[in-house]
Amino acid sequence: MRGSLAAFDELKGRAAAVRIVDGALEDFLIDPPDDRIRPGAIYRARVGRSMKGQGGAILETPDGSLYLRQAKGISQGDSLLVQASTYAEGGKATPVTPRLLFKSRFCMVTPGAGGRNISKAIRDEERRVELRELLEDIPGDDDLGIVLRTAAELADDAAVADDMAAVLDLARSILAEPLSGAPEMLLDGPSAQELAWRDWPTPDATDTDPGSFGRTGADDLIDDLRRPRVGLPEGGSIFIEPTRALVAVDVNSGGDTSPAAGLKANLAALKALPRALRLRGLGGQVVLDMAPVAKRDRRRLEDAAKAAFRADAIDTTVVGWTPLGHLELIRKRERLPISESLS
């Protein structure tokens, strides 16, 4: 099938969504098990014990422990509002931040960071003027910033205005919660299907009826994610194998024996890697064992990696090369590994 398709169904008794573009799986989201805290959840939490030597603190909630990395200026017993930033690693507390963010399809509201801004990805000057007028018409607090997202460019003005008003109301209601109350979840993180409706581009077709994954072939595409091998053009491949400490990626040039085989395979691997990691829900430390390549080409590969991950929605930092010639990345843990989400 040519074009884009969004399908919504259930896997393992949990809501899931897939985005298929020209017959290939472009994105896959599934709700986590019930005992996992979703990124984006907002809590009124109580400060428990401090993590001496690390500068952080453990926070107490009805849903388990949270970990606040920067705990300067707070004391045991204090209450504060925090938001889950990533999924927790196995056996660890969920990382949180005191900097709240309220995100919808058309806008983001940023408490403590005032101002009215428009996504730089919207380049049409006429449309930017129209959106600026919409922003000026929205009454807001100086402490609540608003950023219009890329999806606002093609949206109806009334829909964008209603969306901004709704998100501002939600932010105000959460911020008005008294800190003196007992620890409590004030807002759950978005579900897989909510994330899909919020963040994915408008598809050419949508299937929301039960059994959509079977009808669209998504079941088979998801099964392929359990395999470590990802094929590359011209016969090369990458093998992605998560360990407890890191994600190991091995790049192979396949049957190509030309002098530039290693460089071509590495460039193709870097182009394919953001999608492959996203689909498998992998983050943290990522170590690439590249195909053999001259040291003079390392800068070119590093630039290619930065360009590839810059276009991906999940924050990834290209750290650099190790003495053994491995390229290292640090990637935000926005999703659960597929080994956990499909277990």
Q: Which candidate, 64, 56, 53, places its Cα nearest to that of 94?
A: 64
Residues 6+ apart with CB under 8 A from 112: 99, 100, 143
Tokens standing for residue 162:
């209603």
Please state, in angstroms and as integers, the Cα–Cα distance from residue 206 to each residue in 6, 25, 216, 257, following that order: 5, 14, 10, 44
- Closest alpha carbon to 242 in 337, 340, 343, 342: 337
93-107 burial code (b ≥16 CB/10 A, e <16): bbbbebebbbbbbbb
pLDDT at residue 225, rounded to an integer: 94
Residue 150 DSSP symbol:
G
101 vs 31, 219, 318, CA distance in Å?
Answer: 20, 34, 25
Of 163, 164, 153, the closest CA to residue 125 belongs to 153
**Residue 241's pLDDT is what?**
97
pLDDT at 140: 64
- Per-10-residue mean pLDDT, the chain, length 343: 92 94 95 91 92 82 92 86 90 92 96 91 95 87 89 95 95 94 95 96 94 95 94 90 95 84 94 96 95 93 96 94 95 91 84
Indicate yes or no: pTM above 0.85: yes
Strand-pair category, 144-148 with 107-111: antiparallel
DSSP 8-state secondary structure symbol assigned to residue 233: G
Judge whether 142 and 184 are in contact, CB under 8 Å: no
- State which fold the 227-341 domain adopts: Aminopeptidase (3.40.630)
Query: What's the confidence (pLDDT) of residue 109?
Result: 95
Domain 42-99 adopts which CATH fold? OB fold (Dihydrolipoamide Acetyltransferase, E2P) (2.40.50)
Q: Do residues 105 and 151 make contact, with C-beta atoms less than 8 angstroms apart? A: yes
* pLDDT the model gives residue 258: 84
- The DSSP bridge pattern shows strands 284-289 and 327-331 to be antiparallel
